[in-house]
Structure 1
Amino acid sequence: MPRARSQQVSLSDTPYYHCISRCVRRAFLCGEDSVTGKSFEHRRGWIEARILFLSQIFSIDICAYAVMSNHLHLVLHVDDKQAKNWSTHEVLRRWHYLHKGTLFTQQFARGEAMPEYAIELAESSAENYRERLSDISWFMRELNEPIARQANFEDECTGRFWEGRFKSQALLDEASVLACMAYVDLNPIRANIAPTPEQSEFTSIKKRVESAEKGKQPKTLYPFVGNERPDNVEGRPKGISFKLADYLQLVDLTGRIVRHDKRGAIDISLSPILQRLGIDSENWMEIATKFEAHTHGVVGQTQSIERYKNNRPRARPNKRCCRLFA
């Protein structure tokens, strides 16, 4: 029996999550129909555009994504502290990009004079919206539902476009986050639909490479902020605590081995990022190329798993906890 989302998402344990949505019956509803020859590739563009749009609305950052022909992967970072610091006007401004809200929230957002009871109702609605704007389930709902409606309208049909619920995995530490990101970014390489990461359409790695060539990082993606970690937590920059160049090199080296089937030909452990994480090259290859096969609900190194279990004594043991790089 599936677990409730409240049991799968625990921001006190980790803000990082890997989410997967699949098309119904795993049909190629975004790719090319091999029977009729009709192409649905443009729908992958719809999904990518929606992901990047929502990243500007929600207090949820996009670490990595890959839109495939029959499924999509997302690595998300939930920044609930940011949402808590938004003013009521900011919450309503963001929510109204997605929905009309109520008559009272519209009046409040426009700064119109309102009776006290109407102000209270508008503020109460805003608090509900604030929670939704840092909620993964709402993010996935706002991503998937419009795409389903748009596809059904195009196909002149009704019914499901996506399978029932999206799959969610908690990523407990930096090692599991980076392994999952690399796995997601290399999806088109493994599927043999792209020759290199930078040619992988509808992926975060392509966007990062394009921006890196201009000496920038994409504003719509969670940034890499380098290795320095100030003692003052408040002084730490928001982002992934590794260099973008290290990550791009890591993905490229991993992709070469996946593409040419020369496992072990390049010693990936020479990559500085893996040395800092204490990850063996063989372990890295197993996880970065077969993440879903080796992992379940909660993913992390041994010490992270033990800490998670200690913090959640009533959680079901071991069955859904996957140790990486033990």
Structure 2
Amino acid sequence: MPSPRRNQISIEDTPYYHCCSRVVRRAFLCGDDPYSGQNYDHRRSWVDSLLMKLNSVFAIDIAAFAIMSNHLHVILRIDVDTANQWTDREVLEQWHLLFKGDDLTHRFVKGALIEGNEVTKLKHTIATYRSRLCDISWFMRCLNEPIARQANQEDNCTGRFWEGRFKCQALLDDTALLACMAYVDLNPIRSKLAKTLTQSEHTSIKLRIQAAINSEQPKSLLPFIGNEHQNQLKGIAFSLKDYLELVDETGRIIRNDKRGTISKHTEKILSRMALPHENWLKIITNFGALFHGPVGTLSELSLYCEHLEKQRRHFSKCCHYMSSG
């Protein structure tokens, strides 16, 4: 039986989570459907635009994403601090960008007088919405449900469009985060849908490369705060330049099937991550098969299980891939 989300998410251990949704029907989410002969590439823009909208509403940042033919990947960072810093009015304003709300919440936002007997209800509503706006399950619900309705309407059918639940993996340390990001960014190349990163449409890596040409970072993505942006308040503690070089070289190796040809510079990058290049290539090419649960070192997994009161450390056999030991 699938584990409840509350038993998978531990903010105490990590704010980063890899989510994956896959369609349940034979019809594709995007791309060419060999059975019907139809092309659904236009649906990628549905997902793309909705992702960017949700990013601006929720206190959740997008670190990486890839929209594939029958599934999508997104790596999210829960930003509890931002959610807690919002005023009560800001919480309701954010919520109203997606949902109608009710008469009480709209009156409060407009500055109307709230009766004494309504205050308790209003405070409870605001607390609920504040919690939901930094909740991954609500984020994925707001992403998947509109896409399913729109696709079903286009296909003139009813029923499930996505599998019952989206997959959610905790990324317990920086190495796990970077490895998962590279895995997601390289999905089109690994699936032979693109030969280069710049040809990888509807992915976070293409957005980062396009922005990097102008020495910038995409506003819609969580920034790297390594060597380039020391003044950033939040972001990925790694050099953007090193990440782009690492992913580019890994993509060339995967595409050309030249295993073991990691350059000396990339070896240095991986050594800082305490990850042998053999492990790196194994992870990037087989991430989905290797990791079915939380990803990290054995020590990080132990803490994660302890905080969630898990009696057994499931998936511990995969931990050796995330270290040099």
Query: Given the two structures, how large is their TM-score scaled by the length of structure 1?
Result: 0.93
Q: Could you say which residue in structure 2 is the equivalent of 1:277?
A: 273
Structure 1 residue runs without a partner (length 5+)? none
Correspondent of 1:297 among 293, 310, 318: 293
CA distance, structure 1, for counterparts of residue 302 and residue 122 of structure 2: 43
Q: Could you say which residue in structure 2 is the equivalent of 1:160?
A: 160
Q: How is 1:254-265 mapped onto 2 (pairs within 5 angstroms)?
A: 254-265=250-261
Q: 1:90 to 1:268 in 2, by over 3 A?
A: farther
Q: Could you say which residue in structure 1 is the equivalent of 2:206?
A: 206
Once the two structures are TM-superposed, the CA of residue 270 in structure 1 deviates from its matched residue by: 3.3
1:93 aligns with 2:93: yes
Q: Indicate the RMSD between aligned Cα atoms, in angstroms.
A: 2.0
CA distance, structure 2, for counterparts of residue 269 and residue 6 of structure 1: 41
Once the two structures are TM-superposed, the CA of residue 5 in structure 1 deviates from its matched residue by: 0.7
Structure 2 residue runs without a partner (length 5+)? none
CA distance, structure 1, for counterparts of residue 43 and residue 234 of structure 2: 32
Correspondent of 1:286 among 279, 282, 288: 282
Q: How is 1:114-133 mapped onto 2 (pairs within 5 angstroms)?
A: 114-133=114-133
Once the two structures are TM-superposed, the CA of residue 13 in structure 1 deviates from its matched residue by: 1.2
CA distance, structure 1, for counterparts of residue 62 and residue 317 of structure 2: 24
Once the two structures are TM-superposed, the CA of residue 317 in structure 1 deviates from its matched residue by: 2.0
Q: 1:281 to 1:40 in 2, by over 3 A?
A: same
Q: How is 1:126-141 mapped onto 2 (pairs within 5 angstroms)?
A: 126-141=126-141
Residue type at the aligned position of 2:302: E
Correspondent of 1:317 among 309, 313, 316: 313
Worse overlay, 110-119 or 250-259: 110-119
Worse overlay, 5-14 or 114-123: 114-123
Equivalent pair of 2:171/2:177 in contact (CA under 8 Å):
yes
CA distance, structure 2, for counterparts of residue 247 and residue 305 of structure 1: 25
Correspondent of 2:243 among 228, 242, 247: 247
CA distance, structure 2, for counterparts of residue 315 and residue 147 of structure 1: 38
Equivalent pair of 1:296/1:321 in contact (CA under 8 Å):
no
SS of corresponding position for 2:160: coil
Once the two structures are TM-superposed, the CA of residue 260 in structure 1 deviates from its matched residue by: 0.5
Q: How is 1:64-79 mapped onto 2 (pairs within 5 angstroms)?
A: 64-79=64-79
Query: Given the two structures, how large is their TM-score scaled by the length of structure 2?
Result: 0.94
Q: Could you say which residue in structure 2 is the equivalent of 1:103?
A: 103
Q: 1:261 to 1:198 in 2, by over 3 A?
A: same
CA distance, structure 2, for counterparts of residue 31 and residue 167 of structure 1: 22
Residue type at the aligned position of 1:278: A
Identity %: 52
Q: How is 1:172-191 mapped onto 2 (pairs within 5 angstroms)?
A: 172-191=172-191
Q: 1:183 to 1:300 in 2, by over 3 A?
A: same
Worse overlay, 109-118 or 147-156: 109-118
1:218 aligns with 2:218: yes
Q: 1:268 to 1:222 in 2, by over 3 A?
A: farther
Once the two structures are TM-superposed, the CA of residue 44 in structure 1 deviates from its matched residue by: 1.2
Residue type at the aligned position of 1:144: N
SS of corresponding position for 1:45: helix
Deviation digits for residues 33-78 of structure 1 (CA, Å, limit 9, x no counterpart): 2133211111111011111111111111100000001000011111
Q: How many residues align?
A: 322
Once the two structures are TM-superposed, the CA of residue 312 in structure 1 deviates from its matched residue by: 4.2
CA distance, structure 2, for counterparts of residue 322 and residue 50 of structure 1: 34
Residue type at the aligned position of 1:180: C
Residue type at the aligned position of 2:129: Y
Equivalent pair of 1:73/1:184 in contact (CA under 8 Å):
yes
CA distance, structure 2, for counterparts of residue 36 and residue 236 of structure 1: 48
Equivalent pair of 1:19/1:74 in contact (CA under 8 Å):
yes
